[in-house]
Structures are given as C-alpha cells and as structure tokens.
Amino acid sequence: MLFKHRRKFLAIALVALLFAVGYLNFARRIYHSVEGLRSAEALLRLGKPVAVHHNSKYGGHTNVTACVIETSLSMCDGIGFGSLVLQTIDDITTCLARGFLPTVMWTDCDYCGPPGQGRNYWTWYFQAVNEGIEQHAESRVCVPPSTQFLDTRSVYLTRAEAGGNLVDFRFADMEHKVREYNQPITAETRALINHVISGYVRPAARVENVVNAFYKSFMADTVNIGVHVRLKRDHIKEMSDLFGQKTPDVQDFVRVVRQLITDDGAAAANAGKEIRIFLACDIDEVLAVFKAEFGDNKVLNIEASRGDDFKHRQLDTDPNSARSIGDEVFTDVLLLSKCDYLVHDESSVAALAYYINPDVTTHFVSGDAADHGRLNAKPRFDAEELLRQARDASISRDLSDGLWIHFWKQWQLLAVFSHSVSDTEIFPDVRCFYKNVGWSKCSAEFARLRLDSKRNVRDLINTP
C-alpha cells in the first residue's frame, strides 16, 4: 500500500514538474521575444546615424562628432565578405556625408570569430579607422546596423525610383525589366566609392604583403585579365529568385576572355606582352575548364576553398578557419583589382575589385553595349562634389521622414513577430543584433530605445 501511494505521489510530482518546465519554457520564450522586440526597436530608427551621445567628461576634440559603425552587429550569418565590406563602405560614406569622423568595428560574422570585449575583426583585414575616437570626441552618433527586413536607401542614390543599399547595387540596369529594381552602378558611384576606399578601407599590412608577393611573382610585367565566376547553386538561385537575373554558364566567361585575347584590346594594344588570366571562382570545375582552354601556365589562382570544401570549412567551429576564408576572399578581391581587365557577372567580390581600381576595364558578361558604356564611363563630377551631393540628398531624405514611416516600420515588425514566439525563430537580423549588442560600443545608446530629435541630429551635422 505504501509503495502504491509512493508511486502515485511520484506520478503527481512528475506531472507537476512537467507543467513547471512547460511554464518556464513558455516564460523563457516570452522573455526572449520581448528582449528581441526591444533589440529590434534599435533597427527601426528614422534615418541614420542615430543615438546621439555627448561625452561631457572629454573636451579634447572640440566640434568633432565620432560616428560609430558596427556593421556586423546584425549580420552574423549568410552574408559574404564582399557584401559586408560594401555595407561598411555605405555606412562610412553616410558618416562622411554628414561631416562626422567614422570609426569601424566588426564583432561577429561568418569569417570573423566569436564576439568578445575589445575584439575588432575589422583590423584583422583592414587598417584601423580613427580607433578610439568615439571615447574622446565631443559627441558621438551610432549607425544602426542594417537589416534585410527594412527597406532603406543608400547615400549613393543614382535614381530616385530605384531602391537598395550599396550591397544591392547591380552592374545591370534593371529599369523597365522588373517592377522593383535596385540602383544601377554608375561612373559616379564608382568614383565616390573609390574615394572612400582610398581614405578609409585600406588593407592590413599582412594582407597587402601576401598580395604584393603574389603579384610580383606571377603578374608583374604581363597583361592581366581578372575573371570572377560564381556558379554555385545557391548563388544561381539567389540571382533568379531575388533579382530576376539569369546567371551565365562557364562557357560564356570563356568566350569573353577568348574575345579579349584574340579580338579586343588585350592582345592588340599590348603586342609582345604575355597575357595571364587570374581566376577567382567558387567551384573546382570552373578552374578545370579554364586550364583546359587556356593552359596551366597561363591561368593563375590562389589556393582557396571551393565547392564542398568551402561549405565544410564554413561549418567549422575553429575561428582560425573562418578568418582564413575571409583572407582568401579578400586576396582574390585585391588581385582582381590589380588586373588590366575584369571579366565578371553580378557579385560583391567583382564589385569591390571594380571599385578599388577605377582604371580597370570591366567586361560584364551579362551586359549589353549600354551597360558596358555606363560601367566604363568617366564620372561627370569629382569625388568632393559627389560627396557634397550625397550629403545634401541624404540629409533631405533621412531627416524629413514623416511620423507615418515610423508607424509603418512598427507595423512591419509586429507582423513578423506575430509569426514567431520562440527566440530561435526570430528573424536572423534581430537575433544576431540581440546576441551581439552587449559587445557594442553603443550598447547604452541602443538600450535607451529613444531616438534623439531630428533637430538634434541636424544641429550636429551643421556644426561648423
């Protein structure tokens, strides 16, 4: 009888425990959803930069406003190295257009490493940008991290009716071809980006040394055709589903390179010079095709992960493996930028190479004569004038948004959260921001959940 009562008691206790665990899990989900919502609020600021902070205890830099850029706060997974760099350039230009001094920090991304106090993975790849200025400037503003969730506009506005941040700009001009199209790259876009890169996006010495050594050994004193080919299935699907663009096959790239060698300027304008092909590609089959077509001694490439090997290394938890993937991509970008000709389709890697070297002649494989003319044209204005135009346009746009835009963004956010209660289901950008915001230099500003008045931001911009 005692055993029977004991067994009954244990059953009741087990049921009670299960109910308690269930309630705790439910409470945990609610807590994380609320915290996620609070984190998401920082992604809904009207315009950028935001979150003005005055350093009252420091006065050493009179009338200097530091602009804190932490692009990777909301971009942990699923964004490539080239895309993250382009978004950072967009943010730097936003700061410069407002007259602020930018400083950059990368906390966590696919090829960085685990976030932590004081770890800035930007300086693994690039030279530091005004390091520490945010602590000693008279004032500082914090650029909210970008998110795929919100439709934002770049300061590189080429056409009022086109959208997208810099990372979304296309080599193709999609006007009249799709209902909603992103900004087309123009000569002016290229000139302004090159100006920003020259001043603020300079490779770290260890990366530059590797690139220069490779160039000196294999590419110096030759005519170099850089070729970038992306043919992995996920890229082809992304191009089709998101942008309505068809990706060319490997033989299309081969055809353009052969035309360059036999018909166009590479051979004719450089008679007697050897021609080399530097190939950056994402699958081994492309490398094999090019070597078979043009010869092992003419096709150059770095040792890098491709295909399944790249996928396996992405899943590797070793941060050194992640950073080495970033090194490989960056090395490809810099070597492509050192070429005389660039053969490519739509990609962030090709875009970066194209922006870094304003003199490289681009051959956009999917483009037509109008695309080639636009992409290889000379800019109508110099960089300072382009920066002034970006300043005027961005101030007018970002600081004149009406109250209804804020309510529309709030409605969008609630619509997303209505489909998810669990913290593991919160859309990736917010989840990433929620995970990283504790390491942010602007964590206190984002935690306030309060946007300083537009007049306050305008006053900082107009500070003489």
pLDDT tens-digit map of 301-343: 988 656 555 554 555 556 667 788 889 999 999 999 999 999 9
Q: Is residue 25 part of a domain?
A: no
Q: Is residue 150 part of a domain?
A: yes
Asked, for residue 23, whether it belongs to a domain, the answer is no
Tokens of 300: 């150059």
- Nearest CA to 311 among 425, 210, 233? 233
The pLDDT tens digits for 86-135 are 999 999 998 888 888 999 999 888 788 777 767 899 999 999 999 988 88
Residue 222 forms part of a structural domain: yes
Count the neighbouring beta carbons within 10 Å of the beta carbon of residue 138. Answer: 18
Strands across the sheet containing 50-54: 50-54, 137-143, 61-69, 101-104
Question: Is there a single domain that holds both residue 325 and residue 212?
Answer: yes
Q: CA 211 to CA 298: how far, in whole Å?
A: 18
For residue 36, how many C-alpha atoms fall within 13 Å in the half-sphere facing its CB? 24
- Check: pTM over 0.75? Answer yes or no: yes
Whether residue 439 is found in the same domain as residue 343: no
Are 54 and 138 spatial neighbours (Cβ–Cβ below 8 Å)?
yes
CATH number for the domain including 315? 3.40.50.11350
Give the helix ranges, DSSP H, for 56-99.
81-97
Asked if 139 and 101 sit in the same domain, the reply is yes
Residues 170, 214 within the same domain: no
pLDDT of 46 higher than 80: no
Q: What are phi and psi of 203, to 5 degrees?
A: -60, 150
Is the model's pLDDT at 50 over the cut of 80? Answer: no
Do residues 153 and 299 share a domain?
A: no
> Could you give the C-alpha distances from 331 to 112, 212, 215, 304, 343, in angstroms and in order?
16, 10, 11, 10, 17
Indicate whether 36 belongs to any domain: no
Q: What are 216-263's pLDDT values in tens digits? A: 999 999 999 999 998 666 656 666 666 667 788 899 999 999 999 886
Q: Based on the domain organization, do 353 and 417 belong to the same domain?
A: no
Residues 353 and 410 in one domain: no
- Asked if residue 191 belongs to a domain, the reply is no
Q: What is the mean pLDDT of residues 25-29?
A: 45
Count up the domains in the chain and report the number.
2
- Residue 205: Cβ-neighbour burial (10 angstroms; 0-12, 13-18, 19+): exposed
154 shares its domain with 116: yes
Q: Report the C-alpha dihedral over residues 29, 33, 34, 36, rounded to 10 degrees.
A: 140
Q: Residue 291 domain-assigned?
A: yes
- Output the pLDDT for position 32: 45
Cα–Cα distance between 155 and 159 in angstroms, integer?
A: 11
Decide if 71 is inside a domain. Answer: yes
Percent of the chain, pLDDT > 90?
Answer: 34
Q: Assess whether 132 and 89 both reside in one domain.
A: yes
Q: Which domain holds residue 243?
A: 203-367
82 and 114 share a domain?
Answer: yes
Structure tokens at 228: 């970038």
Question: Based on the domain organization, do 315 and 218 belong to the same domain?
Answer: yes
* 396 burial type by CB count under 10 A (0-12 exposed, 13-18 middle, 19+ buried): exposed
CA–CA gap between residue 429 and residue 135 (Å, rounded):
27
Q: Which two tokens stand for residue 27?
A: 């409470």
